[in-house]
Amino acid sequence: MALDTNAIVEQLKDASILELNDLVKAIEEEFGVSAAAPVAAAAGAGEAGAAAKDSFDVELSEVGQEKVKVIKAVREITGLGLKDAKGLVDGAPSVVKEGATEDEANKIKEDLEAVGATVTLK
């Protein structure tokens, strides 16, 4: 049995939105498929990719009121010398640590926020 594709397309052109909706539902039920499956699969893949993030960049967004304390904290975190740590803090927003694990990034964030800085994890 051959399908007359042109006749089917012509019938679909003449159908109302409600008729097309009923057609989609009937096809889904008859063949056990879903018209929304590709969209759901793509959304699920995006969520899985976000959940699987294993490295974070810790960015010093704002220094706050205690600049000296922030410089000291940056020195401890990065191992930089005073001049380099001061340059990093003065250049905010700047990345303090790249490729940190989630636990390490959260610890750095806590340490910097404890001295009044604003930190963003990326």
CA distances from residue 83 to 5, 72, 86 in whole angstroms, order as listed: 74, 11, 5
The mean pLDDT value for 12-36 works out to 82
Structural domain spans, the chain: 56-121
Average the pLDDT over 9-17 and give the result.
86
Question: pLDDT value at position 40?
Answer: 46
Q: What is the pLDDT of residue 46?
A: 53
Helical H runs in the chain?
5-14, 17-31, 37-51, 67-78, 82-90, 102-114
* pLDDT-based confidence at residue 45 (cuts at 50, 70, 90): low
CATH 3.30.1390.10 assigned to 56-121: yes
- 36 confidence band (pLDDT: 50, 70, 90): low
Instruction: Express each pLDDT in 75-113 by its tens digit.
Output: 998 888 888 888 888 988 888 888 888 888 889 899 989
Residue 41 has pLDDT above 50, yes or no: no
